[in-house]
Amino acid sequence: MRNEDIGWCRRWISLGVLTAVLLLGPAVSFSGGNVVARIGDVEITEVELEEALLQLVPQGIYHSGIDRSDSEEYRTKALDALIEVELLAREAEKRGIKAPEEAISSVIDENTRKFGSEKEMKKAMEERGYTMEGLRKRIGRFEAARTLALELLSASRYSEDELRKYYEENRPKFRKPETVFLSGILIKVDPSATEEVWQQKKKVAEDLLARIRGGEDFGAIAYKYSEDSYRFTSGSIGQVHRGRLSAPELEKTAFSLGKDEISGVVRTIQGFHILKAGEKTPGELKSFEEVSGKLKRDLEKDRFEESKKSLIGRLKKEYVVEITPWSRSKN
């Protein structure tokens, strides 16, 4: 399996990777004996959850720089990931999937190198309450879970025939929208203003329109009188896709104009607009070759996520998952 094909799958379980590898960050400042979740007879401790959180949020920011709601969200994500890895590890065990001893040893060796010596590695493990046997077991369970996830990914493949069928059945999704190069002038009106004020502002816009149609330069008028940020570009808004203009009346007007044509005064909730159209680009269908790469990645990701969701749902019914009161009290 190509690395680029499984990159996003690895990102999904990267939290589990870092937690299983475990010893990459500084030690947490408290005992890891408190249990935050149980899956059958397997316990997830606070130290494991804290290690996982440090992969989501840098330690300094986590302890002092995020508000309560963000902290709870990160904590939930981290705990969910740990639970999913354990559930997948159990399913992998049932399917006879085991991590090779050399793969486990490779992770241990990597961490030893990061700490500089076996002595420092052992010290870090002791600070977290881990034995070498326990660490090897955890790494092995993660590697088994990762292997199962990659098997799910392999089963999520789309053939070219399937991709072409999807493309043909969903052609409108692959159309490049029509575009127009647009310039504009805005005379602002407070939405709560009286109708009398609205009419006064309309008269200002109509006078500007008359000057433009009388031969004065649109850009110069925009720069001097427009009351939006585009005045600093002499009214130039740029290339606008159909569907991007917030006001339907502006959209309708913009795409009805011919090249270099000036609109009448258009009223919206913002005030009064004068538009000038430039070059138009017609909408067109992207070819299958243009979209097939991204389409394949998106569809396979969706199929994988659905397959994973279904499997995790089944496993949560098969194995009792308990979130402890102690875990909730930390939120």
In sequence order, the β-bridge partners of residue 21 are none
Other Cβ atoms closer than 10 A to 196: 8
142-195: pLDDT as tens digits: 889 989 998 999 999 999 999 999 999 999 999 989 999 999 999 999 999 999
β-strand 266-268 against 271-281: which pairing, if any?
antiparallel
Please state the φ and ψ torsions of residue 100, each to the nearest 5 degrees: -60, 140
User: 328: which 2 tokens?
Assistant: 């909730």
Residue 151 sits in the same domain as residue 300: yes
Banded pLDDT at 23 (limits 50, 70, 90):
very low
Banded pLDDT at 29 (limits 50, 70, 90):
very low
In CATH, what number is assigned to the domain containing residue 234? 3.10.50.40
| pLDDT top residue among 222 and 1 | 222
Residue 235 sits in the same domain as residue 200: yes
Please state, for a pLDDT cut of 70, what percent of the chain lies above it.
84
* Residue among 62, 66, 103, 76 nearest 15 (CA): 76
Residue 222 sits in the same domain as residue 131: no
Residue 188 sits in the same domain as residue 149: no
Residue 13 sits in the same domain as residue 49: yes
Residue 203 sits in the same domain as residue 145: no
Output the average pLDDT for the chain: 85
Instruction: Indicate the number of domains in the chain.
Output: 2
| Structural domain containing residue 91 | 3-161+291-329
Residue 123 sits in the same domain as residue 32: yes
pLDDT at 27: 46
Helix (H) / strand (E) containing 179: strand 179-188
* Residue among 179, 177, 181, 178 nearest 278 (CA): 181
Exposure b/e, 220-238, CB count within 10 A at least 16 = b: ebbbebbbbebbeebbbbe
Q: How many CA atoms lie within 13 A of 185 on its CB side?
A: 28
Judge whether residue 81 has pLDDT over 70.
yes
Residue 196 sits in the same domain as residue 100: no
Residue 125 sits in the same domain as residue 260: no
CA distances from 253 to 239, 250, 270 (A): 15, 5, 16
pLDDT at 12: 46
- Whether 172 is covered by a domain: the verdict is no
- Whether 236 is covered by a domain: the verdict is yes
- Whether 320 is covered by a domain: the verdict is yes
Environment class of 108 (CB within 10 Å of its CB; exposed 0-12, middle 13-18, buried 19+):
middle
In CATH, what number is assigned to the domain containing residue 41? 1.10.4030
Give the list of residues 6+ apart from residue 297 with CB closer than 8 angstroms, or none: 8
Residue 97 sits in the same domain as residue 237: no
User: 124: which 2 tokens?
Assistant: 């870090």
- Whether 314 is covered by a domain: the verdict is yes
Do residues 211 and 274 make contact, with C-beta atoms less than 8 angstroms apart? no
- Whether 217 is covered by a domain: the verdict is yes
247-272: pLDDT as tens digits: 999 999 999 999 999 999 999 999 99
